[in-house]
Amino acid sequence: MSRTPFGVESDPRGWDSSLNKTYQTGIINHMHKLAQELETLVGVMLSAQQLSSLEYYAKELVDWNERYSLTAISDPAQVRVKHFLDSLSAYLALRNTSVERVIDVGTGAGFPGLPLKILCPQIKLTLVESVTKKVGFCQHIVEKLALDDVEIVRERAEVVGKDDTFREQFDWAVARAVALMPILMEFTLPLVRVGGRVLAMKGESGPAEAHSADRAMGMLGGHLQRLIPVTLPGVVEQRYLVVVEKVAATPEKYPRRVGVPAKRPL
The pLDDT mean for the chain works out to 90
Residue range 175-194: average pLDDT? 96
Could you give the CA distance from residue 78 to residue 235 in angstroms, rounded to a whole number?
A: 9
Confidence of residue 24 (pLDDT cuts 50, 70, 90): low
Q: Is residue 3 over pLDDT 50? A: no
Q: Is residue 14 over pLDDT 50? A: no
Residue range 120-124: average pLDDT? 97
Q: Is residue 5 over pLDDT 50? A: no
- The reported pLDDT for the residue numbered 171 is 98
- The reported pLDDT for the residue numbered 21 is 61
Do the strands 222-230 and 170-176 form a parallel or antiparallel pair, or are they unpaired? unpaired
Q: What is the pLDDT of residues 126-170, one digit of tens each?
A: 999 999 999 999 999 999 999 999 999 999 999 999 999 999 999
- The reported pLDDT for the residue numbered 13 is 36
65 vs 190, which has greater pLDDT? Answer: 190
- Polymer length of the chain: 266
Q: How far apart, in Å, do the first and last CA atoms of the chain sit?
A: 50
Asked which of 62-71, 171-180, 221-230 is least confident by mean pLDDT, the reply is 62-71
Other Cβ atoms within 10 Å of 244 Cβ, number = 28
- The reported pLDDT for the residue numbered 6 is 32
- The reported pLDDT for the residue numbered 215 is 97
- The reported pLDDT for the residue numbered 238 is 95
Question: Would you identify the CATH topology of the domain 13-263?
Answer: Rossmann fold (3.40.50)
Confidence of residue 76 (pLDDT cuts 50, 70, 90): confident
- The reported pLDDT for the residue numbered 77 is 83
Residue range 88-102: average pLDDT? 96
Q: Is residue 200 over pLDDT 50? A: yes
- How many angstroms separate the Cα of 133 from the Cα of each of 68, 69, 128, 173? 7, 9, 13, 22
Residue range 106-126: average pLDDT? 97
Q: Is residue 74 over pLDDT 90? A: no
Confidence of residue 181 (pLDDT cuts 50, 70, 90): very high
Three-state SS sequence of the chain: CEECCCCCEECCCCCCCCCCHHHHHHHHHHHHHHHHHHHHHHCCCCCHHHHHHHHHHHHHHHHHHHHHCCCCCCCHHHHHHHHHHHHHCCHHHHCCCCCCEEEEECCCCCCCHHHHHHHCCCCEEEEEECCHHHHHHHHHHHHHCCCCCEEEEECCHHHHCCCCCCCCCEEEEEEECCCCHHHHHHHHHHHEEEEEEEEEEECCCHHHHHHHCHHHHHHHCEEEEEEEEECCCCCCCCEEEEEEEECCCCCCCCCCCCCHHHHCCC
Q: Is residue 187 over pLDDT 70? A: yes
